[in-house]
A and B are shown apart, each in its own frame.
Chain A
Amino acid sequence: MSNARDYYALLGVLRDASQEEIKRAYYEAARRLHPDTNRAPGETEFFLDIQKAYEVLSNPKRRAEYDQTLPKADTPSLPVNVQVQYSRPNLVRMNEPQLVYVQLDVRPRQQTDKIPAPPLNVCLVLDRSTSMKDAKMDLLKAAAIQVLKSLRPEDIFSVVTFSDRADVVIPASYQVDTKRIESQIRMIQPSGATELYQGLEAGLEQVRRSRDPSRLNHLILLTDGHTYGDEQACLNLAAEAAVQQIGISGMGIGADWNDTFLDELAGRTGNTSQYIARPQDIQRILSEKFNELTRVFSEEVTLDYTPTAGADAAYAFRLQPETGPLKIENPLRLGPILQDTHLSILFEFLVQPAALNTDLLRILEGHLKVAIAARPTPLPPMRLQFSRDVGAEAGTDPPPITIIQALSRLTLYRMQERARNEVQSGNYEGATRSLKNLASHLLAQGHQGLAHTVMLEMENVQRQQAFSSSGEKDIKYGTRALIMTEGM
């Protein structure tokens, strides 16, 4: 559909982009594609094209001349469809803060020529510290071998193990001789401590070696322990990976890993962490993850926005895929779209009275960027605006049922978050009350098992002023799983 010579498309900006936007898009592309940092074939040529595009568009005179040569702007048929729903028809002028919920859905548009899922470039980063010994290690190896066997011929795969140092077990390459690779995986021996940074750095290096914008570049980290002292360095690595469009997913095995940290790490690239309660589940969950990677339509949707004074995004949560809370930052990394699972985000905005001196409040204005690996040129960003009329009276329309349903389940997850925060700040009484409320909702909805866990943790908090580390994760990922399962 797109003309390779379209400079706007090359830079991924709209036809009416400002000079500032063009400059920013160029810097971003340069950072991503500069020949010094890039070894993937074809990218240098691509970078030269982008440079040419920038030379023309950054000069207003040459840009005007170039615009003359373009065919009349026809609205390009975007491959995604964006839907925005609000919890209320309007905002009300009042002297106290008010809430509005906004649900954003981004769906692949049904097209006659389906965009195929891109080939993978995936690195498995496996914790082989002493704590992984025996059954856990064996099950992990079996899971890795299972994944190896499910690869398609066009996929690039690598394996890195780490303890207090990292080893490249399988360098990034097409996997031709699976028998040999399989025996290499079987030889992994557990020993040493957990130093995540080592593994993450070596794993990212493998992904970068064959990084290619037309592939899905991803790292999957499996660990069962805490890392000490290198958290910030790891987060910095993840932020760098995000710029290069490399995704990071985290999987924690058992009770003794830091879920808050792993969530934050994966969150830097718009992904999330998963909890593997029992080693027997490693294989299933890892296979599901791989299966998900082969169904990716867009590896990442980001939202670049201008915040509105007095209308703050107080909370943002990805309902699907990869259910989990979003870190409020700019740009917002919203997450991936799968071919069969669209992206759905629920925002909570807190609107202050001072912002309401207008008839139409722009709650948020920005651009959505949808990265689709299988397309040669980036999509132009899409303008996105959340806005509501401001009136004297509240509208009478009830909130859309989808928002109520999502919130009814999200409320349980947030009660769990609240209880954890209360324990951390020493408010044990508050935490006990929150857990009690959570348990009664879970019981009423028929989730006896989870309600039971919550009640046990309530006792732990009362007696020991702390959660048990397994119970804490059972509740967090259990309430998260409720958001994923539709219906009742």
Chain B
Amino acid sequence: MIVCTNCQHKNPDGSIFCSECGAQLTGSDLTTQNIRTDQVREILRDDARGARPPVEAAPTVNAWASLHLMESGQILPLTDRNEFTLGRVSEGQPIMPDLDLTPYQAYANGVSRLHAVVKRDSKRIVIMDLGSSNGTYVNGKRLTANVERLLSHGDVIALGKLKIQILVKSP
């Protein structure tokens, strides 16, 4: 049984949205997989006291790729799973991106709630725009929605105006 944190309605196990209030039931499946961007920020802040993390350096251990937020200089490692949706959480809405970019002025930069997805299969890493309002750009070129685009190390992605550099772990 899953108790909705929003309205206390009891939903059967396996529910994804609350049948009473429509809130997404962020079951353990989802929360453990979400990257806690706040924590990452904390760690990075500690790092920043010493030296800024070198951008070209190998990304965090175990990550198959990392996202370098160019405005703030922070790096978010992508680990554990092969697919991350990028977007921003907004109050009371049922969509929960894997990676919430709210702390990086996502709203002001025109990031949609569910903006794009970064995926890895056997060897390649791709990005796909999920029909966002302000578009996804790779190295300045706008992507067609729902069409995958190959990513390589150093490519600069823009979700709306939020610029992110992709750092790929070399094999």
Interface residues of A (CB under 8 A from B): 87-88, 91-92, 94, 96-101, 350-351, 394-399, 401, 403-405, 407-408, 411-412, 414-415, 418, 437-438, 440-441, 444-445, 486-488
Contacts and interface: CB of A to CB of B under 8 A. Distances in A.
A437 B22 contact: yes
B29 A399 contact: yes
A440 B92 contact: yes
Interface stretch (B35-43, B127-135, B147-155): B127-135
Nearest to B30: A398
A263 B143 CA distance: 38
Contact of B81 (A94, A101, A398): A398
A99 B14 contact: yes
Contacts, number: 97
Contacts of A397: 29, 81
B37 to A, nearest CB: 17
Given A408-B24, A441-B93, A488-B112, A87 B33 contact: no
B117 interface: yes
Contacts of B113: 445, 488
B147 to A, nearest CB: 12
Contacts of B95: 404-405, 408, 488
Contacts of A411: 17, 22, 94
Most buried by A among B1, B29, B91: B29
Interface of B: 1, 7, 11-17, 19-22, 24, 28-30, 32-33, 81, 83, 85, 90-95, 98, 112-114, 117, 130-133, 145-146
Contacts of A440: 92
Nearest to A403: B16
Q: Which of B22, B32, B133 has the most CB of A within 10 A?
A: B22
Contacts of B117: 401
A91 B32 CA distance: 19
A91 B12 CA distance: 12
A407 B17 contact: yes
Nearest to B133: A488
B29 A487 contact: no
Contact of B12 (A97, A407, A414, A441): A97
A146 B99 CA distance: 49
Nearest to B14: A99
A486 B17 contact: no
B55 to A, nearest CB: 29
A411 B12 CA distance: 15
Contacts of B94: 408, 411, 441
